[in-house]
Structure 1
């Protein structure tokens, strides 16, 4: 019901409104600044052919413009794409190491470790670097030796250091 009413108002008196718009005077050019009006009149009085040249239509240019036609298409690929998915190698998994089993983690891909395992191995290496060497960690967690060396070199576990105050007026800890 609402669409009919809207359509009726939209189409009401449509022809007279269209005629009114068509019969309106076309917009004129923007008004010139007073300082340029005098210069324009002076140039037109000296060179009257300029006004004729500006208002004349060039038929040669109009015909060239009509001949211009732009049609764009996507390039066709030379070889048809195959929809064959690449075959993945079967992954090897291992069980998480330690007594801190997470319910969500059932198996870990070889070459990867969990966050808890990373913290554990970093802490073990920090506490006992003689026993937990990079080779032993790589063997225990099924990692590559270069990855373990990088891990031990660039990552450290959180460590709290208390720096004693330099001045004597500081309150001593009890």
Structure 2
């Protein structure tokens, strides 16, 4: 219902409003500054040939312009030259470590990177067996840098669920 009311107000007296807009005066060019207007008028009074010279074409200049041939090319930036010179070497890939959690869709992984499953696996292995799964061994196993592995082990941990029994009730023993 509200749309019909709004449409009625929008279309009310539409033809008259459109005709009024169309019949308005078109904007005129911006006026010149009075000081320049008087100077231009004075120059035209002293030199009336200027007005004819402005309107006429100079055949000599047109002939010279026809002889000009411009062939332009975009300038080559140093970045484009540098990119053309440096040929990209093929990236090294490695096979995923372990074939669990349906990782068969991943065929190869770039060296220096790991998949999410591998990250969770290595974090869990390090948490369970920190003596055997050291940062150095993980870096060698997964072809990572030692700094990255140290940061990964320091700042990321796998989820661990701990259930605390309420203090006022007895904990239910699982069977």
| TMscore range, shorter length | 0.5 to 0.7
Gaps of 5+ in 2: 1-18, 26-31, 40-73
Q: What is the DSSP-based 3-state SS (H/G/I as helix, E as strand, rest coil) of the residue aligned with 1:129?
A: coil
Instruction: Count matched residues.
Output: 109
Assess, with a 3 A threshold, how the Cα gap between structure 1 residues 61 and 120 changes in structure 2: closer, same or farther: same
Show the 5 A alignment for 1:38-53: none
Name the TM-score, length of structure 1 as normaliser: 0.52
Q: What is the DSSP-based 3-state SS (H/G/I as helix, E as strand, rest coil) of the residue aligned with 1:139?
A: helix
In 1, distance between residues paired with 2:111 and 2:33? 77
Name the TM-score, length of structure 2 as normaliser: 0.52
Assess, with a 3 A threshold, how the Cα gap between structure 1 residues 165 and 63 changes in structure 2: closer, same or farther: farther
What's the offset of the Cα at 1:103? Answer: 3.1
Matched, 1:97 2:97: yes
What's the offset of the Cα at 1:137? Answer: 0.4
What's the offset of the Cα at 1:105? Answer: 1.1
Q: RMSD in angstroms over aligned alpha carbons? A: 3.3
Assess, with a 3 A threshold, how the Cα gap between structure 1 residues 133 and 63 changes in structure 2: closer, same or farther: farther
Q: Which residue of 2 aligns with 1:51?
A: none
Q: Which residue of 2 aligns with 1:80?
A: 76
Gaps of 5+ in 1: 1-16, 25-56, 65-77
